[in-house]
């Protein structure tokens, strides 16, 4: 037979994951650590930006930003790329899994000495993709904007990696994949680390 306290037991069980999640969030907050996992869009960037700005306002102690992302919206990536240096506190980025497209642009927002990745991280650079629809005149405007965007992003990648603009143009014409050692040689990553205590 059902007991009168079954509902209470169910409520306690259902609240356990929520309590665990809140505990994790508190631990991340205390460690000044931010996670950017999954597609980059306005919602994910709003959350990460809010955390970075809050930590920056709180103190000048370093912030850790873990990135595992296939990329996404270019302008959202631009926003975080700029914010990494805007917040004042040093932001140490740690790549894990994959850091692709707009995520790679965000990664390069950190100063070279603050760029880390784990041993199995993959990086991917490529040109921005267009998806415009509409009248021919609008498509023409969009095409010009994509060309300008591509040049701007390529110049950022060249500046932040030390590669020539001409090489970046060639490499980003198609999906350009790099493993950790290749990314280090290319100038994307400075430190390949396997343990938390290696992030200085």
Catalytic residues: 101, 126
Q: Which residue has the tokens 């079954």?
A: 6
DSSP state of 129: P
Q: How far is residue 198 from each of residues 27, 180, 195, measured CA to CA in Å?
A: 19, 16, 6
Q: How far is residue 99 from each of residues 105, 140, 180, measured CA to CA in Å?
A: 9, 31, 11
Cβ atoms of residues 190 and 112 within 8 Å: yes
Give the chain's end-to-end CA distance (angstroms, integer): 59
Distance, CA of 35 to CA of 47 (rounded, Å): 10
Q: Which residue has the tokens 């969030």?
A: 25
Distance, CA of 68 to CA of 134 (rounded, Å): 34
Cβ atoms of residues 130 and 101 within 8 Å: no
Structure tokens given for 109: 């927002």
């Amino acid at each position: 037979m059902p007991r009168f306290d079954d509902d209470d037991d169910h409520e306690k069980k259902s609240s356990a994951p929520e309590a665990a999640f809140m505990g994790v969030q508190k631990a991340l907050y205390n460690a000044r650590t931010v996670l950017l996992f999954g597609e980059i869009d306005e919602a994910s960037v709003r959350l990460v930006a809010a955390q970075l700005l809050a930590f920056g306002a709180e103190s000048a102690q370093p912030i850790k930003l873990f990135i595992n992302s296939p990329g996404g919206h270019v302008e959202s990536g631009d926003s975080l790329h700029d914010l990494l240096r805007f917040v004042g506190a040093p932001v140490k980025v740690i790549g894990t899994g994959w850091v692709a497209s707009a995520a790679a642009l965000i990664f390069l927002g950190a100063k070279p000495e603050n760029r880390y990745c784990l041993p199995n991280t993959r990086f991917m650079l490529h040109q921005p993709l267009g998806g415009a629809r509409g009248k021919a005149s609008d498509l023409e405007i969009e095409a010009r904007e994509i060309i300008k965007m591509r040049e701007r992003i390529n110049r950022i990648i060249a500046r932040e990696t030390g590669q020539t603009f001409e090489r970046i143009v060639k490499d980003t014409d198609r999906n350009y994949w790099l493993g950790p050692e290749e990314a280090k040689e290319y100038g994307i990553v400075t430190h390949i680390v396997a343990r938390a205590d290696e992030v200085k």
